[in-house]
Structure 1
Amino acid sequence: MFTILPLASRFHAPDLVEAACAALAAGLAAQGLPTRRVEDASDAQALFLVTGGTEHLALEAAAQRPDPVLLLAHPAQNSLPAALEVLARLHQIGRQGRLFLINGTGTAAADLARTAHHLAVRARMARLRLGLIGTPSDWLVASRPDPARVTETWGPAVIEVPLADLEAALRQADPVAAEALDQGFRQGATRILEPSAADLRTAAQVAAALRSLVAAQRLDACSVRCFDLVTGLATTGCLGLSDLMDAGIVAGCEGDLPAALTMLWVQALTGRLSFMANPQDLDPAAGTLWLAHCTIARKLVQTYALRSHFESALGVGIQGTWAPGPVTLVRIGGEDLRGLYVAEGEAVACGSAEDRCRTQVQVRLQGGLASLLARPLGNHHILVPGHWAAELREYHNLFIDSQPARA
């Protein structure tokens, strides 16, 4: 329910004010945005300037609200002139605001509904727990942000979990849960190539351990320093990460916090699962890019085979087949985590090259390849089905790019 604080001059008749509030509520409800009136600015997501003469009231209310300040106006009772004056003053004092004229024409009501969704996502992000299980992999030299910066800029709390906790969970893994995971991955696979029965059992035990650790830490997402499983235990976390993703728990590889944060944001905003992958090759003339990684949510692919992990030839990886169709490629990064790369395109092919990670997707992007090479934000990029660039950029402009830079 979208909350609105009506503001009206004492010189206007109460029945006219009431009629304007009712008309606004009906118009927004018709656009799929139910509203509720509130009396306290701290409870309001938007300020409705019902009449003129409300400029000081609006500024006082805005002082109790974080940016962006949302102002609603209608085409009567000097509502729009008052809202214009307030927005101008907000800009003068360094505040961010948005004005929506709700008059039954244009896209203002739909724009407001979309902004309301962004506000809900922002509030949800602030409640989420992102687990960093182990430290970032050593080669992620540009993807090691201060966990406090993640929370400050994007909202989720970063829960640092020692890799020893995963190792302890593995020793105590529920054998029934592990057996069920083993059988589930086997039964769904079109082929099982390199992995032995013992490889599958061990990978399933890791998956069961990850499940229990995520539950114990109450995590909404995680990123795992998974290569230590390869070097220390001769197994992989690929099945476990895939299983978590299928269960709606964002799960990233290699302790890459910005990549996992990107996946978490994408899922909160779009409701879609995503694929964390390495860019492998690109053709600027054709606008195409190859992406690859050894784990992917089974819900994202049409079919999958169980393979060994590419780099090590150990454990179990997943070779999935991505369906052709619209996609968006996105990545958060930069020293202050305010950088955003986003490009839309189409998934056009899948690959099976033996010199790359197992799931391989070729995408044709509508621009963005030059900046990927010239100003990368890191290695891993996130692929999500559908075209979402406008929504992602709008959210970023509202809440991230507008934040004051930190010294």
Structure 2
Amino acid sequence: MERYPLVGIASRLRHVDEKYREISSRISDLFCPLGLFFDVPAVEEAAILVMTGGTEEIVEKIGGSWPLLLIYHDSENSLPAAIEAASSLRKKGRIVWLAHWSSPEIPVILSAIKAMKRIRGFRLGIIGDPSPWLTYSRSSDEDLRIIGIHPVRISIEALINEYKKVEMPRDSKDGVENAKRMREAINKLIAREKLDGITIRCFDLLPMGVTACLALSELNSAGIVAGCEGDVPAFLAMLFGYLLSEKPTFMGNISGIDEKEVVLAHCTFPLSIAKRYKFMTHFESGIGVGVAAEVEKNVKVTLIRISDDLKRIRIMKGVTDEVKWRDDLCRTQIKVRMEGDPSIMIKKPMGNHYVISFADISRELCYLADALGMECEIA
């Protein structure tokens, strides 16, 4: 993990230079110490090591739009000063978190801060409107801008035109070759519009005899977050999961729920994290290419869902389990044994598509939600 800037703040009445050096050296694997200051430091962004009491006013004057991490220790009235400053800053609307210098929460918080930095200014290509059956999963451009995402609206016709420009394979009905053509067309749009990620109204491609399933699989494998059906809240869940776990995620339909298990299914999956996979046709249409992937058992996962207005995030934990594959569901099918009660998906529905992150990132997600002004619900 890249080290985060760290400044110490102290009162001139106390001589804490040696203590600052001691603490900062013990957390130097996470932080790059910039020195001990007795006034407002000229830094754009840094975590603050509150060394003494009497520093509240200095801390409050530290500017910036990023969440502020205040780190305290066990003496010199460090904790009282950190609490007082944090209370005042929170009242003014600043996102502030407190942690003891030895707390295991610190790398979790830093992960959330770094994810937020990548979200700010993120150029999301929305290719076509949400699919017509997504009557809930629709977010406004204004809601996206509030959390720092820059929406770039692109017509599905623009993608189809790019696809038509790509050289035809010898066999025009070869599903894999046409899927590669679609990937090339998407890549051209990404390059032309300088996009950081995309979501596509993919069913509108079916009249062309091609699907986007394989192209999206390969994009996610390459670290370019790519979602299906123009579902923006699901895309954001994929993005959050990718940034916090540094692994591709899976977006799927809720295809089955019982007392402690959930099955999610879709026709695309990042090939780079599959245990094994094969190409089949797209489930609903029977044409093109769909990806039937398997994952390892007993992998810790986090299920993520974001509300349509981007004000709430639902987080659920579990582990992957063996699934009996069915031919009446989308091609990739993943079963998760849940820690909590999955019936909340039915009792308090928040849209169909959930996202699986293949890591336990529940704590990181809560900090990121706080930073973005979202209510965090752990189910």
Give 1:326 deviation, angstroms: 2.0
Question: Bigger shift: 86-95 or 117-126?
Answer: 86-95
Corresponding residue of 1:249: 224
Question: 1:233 and 2:208 equivalent?
Answer: yes
Following superposition, which runs of at least 4 residues in structure 1 exceed 6 angstroms of deviation? none
- Match 2:184 to one of 191, 208, 215: 208
Give the AA of the match of 2:177. Answer: R
Could you tell me the TM-score, scaled by structure 2's length?
0.89
Give the AA of the match of 1:338. Answer: K
Q: Distance in 2 between matches of 1:5 and 1:41?
A: 10
- Match 1:166 to one of 159, 164, 170: 159
Corresponding residue of 2:328: 355
- Does the 8 Å contact 1:68/1:96 carry over to 2? yes
- Does the 8 Å contact 2:254/2:354 carry over to 1? yes
- Does the 8 Å contact 1:351/1:361 carry over to 2? no
1:199–1:401 CA distance, 2 compared to 1 (3 A): closer
Could you tell me the TM-score, scaled by structure 1's length?
0.83
Q: Distance in 2 between matches of 1:402 and 1:370?
A: 20
Question: Bigger shift: 37-46 or 207-216?
Answer: 37-46
Question: Bigger shift: 127-136 or 65-74?
Answer: 65-74
Question: 1:53 and 2:28 equivalent?
Answer: no
Q: Distance in 2 between matches of 1:215 and 1:367?
A: 42
Give 1:258 deviation, angstroms: 0.8
Question: 1:36 and 2:34 equivalent?
Answer: yes
Give 1:92 deviation, angstroms: 5.1
Give 1:275 deviation, angstroms: 0.9
Corresponding residue of 1:100: 99
Give 1:260 deviation, angstroms: 1.0
Corresponding residue of 1:187: none
Corresponding residue of 1:157: 150
- Match 2:108 to one of 114, 119, 122: 114
Give the AA of the match of 1:259. Answer: A
Corresponding residue of 1:135: 129
Corresponding residue of 2:13: 11
Give 1:241 deviation, angstroms: 1.0
1:393 match: secondary structure:
helix
Contiguous gaps of at least 5 residues in structure 2:
none
Q: Distance in 1 between matches of 2:355 and 2:193?
A: 25
Contiguous gaps of at least 5 residues in structure 1:
183-195
Question: 1:295 and 2:296 equivalent?
Answer: no
Q: Distance in 2 between matches of 1:42 and 1:36?
A: 9
Q: Distance in 1 between matches of 2:216 and 2:7?
A: 44
Give 1:173 deviation, angstroms: 1.7
1:350 match: secondary structure:
coil
User: C-alpha offsets along residues 335-390 of structure 1, whole Å, 9 cap, x if unaligned?
Assistant: 43121122111211234312111111111111141211111221111112222223
Identity of aligned residues (%): 29
Write 1 or 2 for the structure with the bigger share of helix: 1
Q: Distance in 2 between matches of 1:91 and 1:209?
A: 46
Corresponding residue pairs, total? 371
Q: Tell me the C-alpha RMSD between the 2 structures.
A: 2.5
